[in-house]
A = this chain, B = another copy of it.
Amino acid sequence: MIHIIILNIFTENSIIFKYSELTFNMLLDMKRKDIDIPTCVHCKNSNGKGLLCCLPESDKQLLSENKCHRYYKKGEVIFLEGNHANGIFCLYKGKVKLVKLGKEGKEQIVRLSKEGDILGYRSLLSADVYQATAVALDDSYICHISKDIFLQTIKSNPTLSFEIIQLLSSDLKNAEQHLINFTQKTVKERISEAILLLASTFGYLIDGKTINIKMNRSEIAEMASTTTESAIRTLSALQEEGMISLNGKYIVIHNMKELIRSTHVND
């Protein structure tokens, strides 16, 4: 029996174990977990387009000195809907989904995040609880900046406020467009939209057509707000029409033009 006790999820992991019982896989895991995370000053993640990129070096330095980071295994929860926000998360590496719990435990994916994205800022800014649960879609490295430091940085940087406004505006726009999509489109149109969203968010593998994310059918169903069975049927149908092909948990796009058309058949 191996005992792993995580003492505090927001500071560095503190793990108690017996060395003698470490397996090869655990050692591999630790090696993977042990990567170098640069300071905010040197972080090249969002190519100057990220939320915090507008900050002067001194502020980035301040954030770096006060941030902490953690490794999240695929499937691990980063924060829970209903919990109080006490900082923002910055996704250094990995992929994250934001899910909201609906009725009868049915989940709905409301947003996707990739490297360089900021999570949990909305709840923090409106001093609210998290409105969704963040789950790692892939092994991820995520930095955490405390509430105090972040709010202090906003106060001293009007440009940051403006960046936040831009980000919120764009999220709001997407959310409202989403609403129309989900209420007025068929399952097929919604599944097609979900595939396009995955592609535009996570990009492709080196072949240039396989979407760079492994998602199971029930997760795609959660994106398109339908049942797993309907998602399976619809994906098969799209495959038979030659628009996509299904390679295990990967989706390959073959006919982007037709796929885009199939998102708005009767507009």
CB distance from A104 to the nearest CB of B (A): 6
Q: Which of B128, B154, B172 interacts with A168 by CB under 8 Å?
A: B172
Tell me the nearest residue of chain B to A185, going by C-beta: B103
Q: How far is the CA of A154 from the CA of B266 in the complex (A)?
A: 42
Cβ of A54 under 8 Å from chain B: no
Does A131 contact B184, Cβ atoms closer than 8 Å? no
CB under 8 Å from chain B, chain A span 148-163: 154-155, 158, 161-162
Cβ of A183 under 8 Å from chain B: yes
Interface centre among A108, A178, A179 (most CB of B within 10 A): A179
Task: Tell whether A128 pairs with B158 under 8 Å between CB atoms, given A100-B180, A183-B182.
Answer: no
Does B131 contact A267, Cβ atoms closer than 8 Å? no
Q: Which of B125, B177, B266 interacts with A169 by CB under 8 Å?
A: B125
Q: How far is the CA of A104 from the CA of B184 in the complex (A)?
A: 10
Does A166 contact B125, Cβ atoms closer than 8 Å? yes
Cβ of A126 under 8 Å from chain B: yes
Q: Which of B106, B126, B168, B179 interacts with A178 by CB under 8 Å?
A: B179
Q: Which of B126, B165, B171, B179 interacts with A179 by CB under 8 Å?
A: B179
Task: Tell whether A104 pairs with B266 under 8 Å between CB atoms, given A155-B158, A169-B128.
Answer: yes
Cβ of A175 under 8 Å from chain B: yes
Does B161 contact A100, Cβ atoms closer than 8 Å? no
Given contacts A131-B177, A158-B158, 18 further A-B contacts (CB under 8 A): A100-B179, A103-B185, A104-B266, A106-B184, A108-B180, A108-B184, A110-B180, A122-B169, A122-B172, A126-B170, A126-B173, A128-B173, A161-B162, A164-B165, A165-B165, A165-B168, A178-B179, A179-B179
What B residues does A104 contact at CB under 8 A? 266-267
CB distance from A267 to the nearest CB of B (A): 5
CB distance from A94 to the nearest CB of B (A): 22
CB distance from A253 to the nearest CB of B (A): 23
Cβ of A102 under 8 Å from chain B: yes
Q: How far is the CA of A161 from the CA of B185 in the complex (A)?
A: 36
Q: How far is the CA of A162 from the CA of B127 in the complex (A)?
A: 12
Tell me the nearest residue of chain B to A121, going by C-beta: B169
Tell me the nearest residue of chain B to A168, going by C-beta: B168
Cβ of A132 under 8 Å from chain B: yes
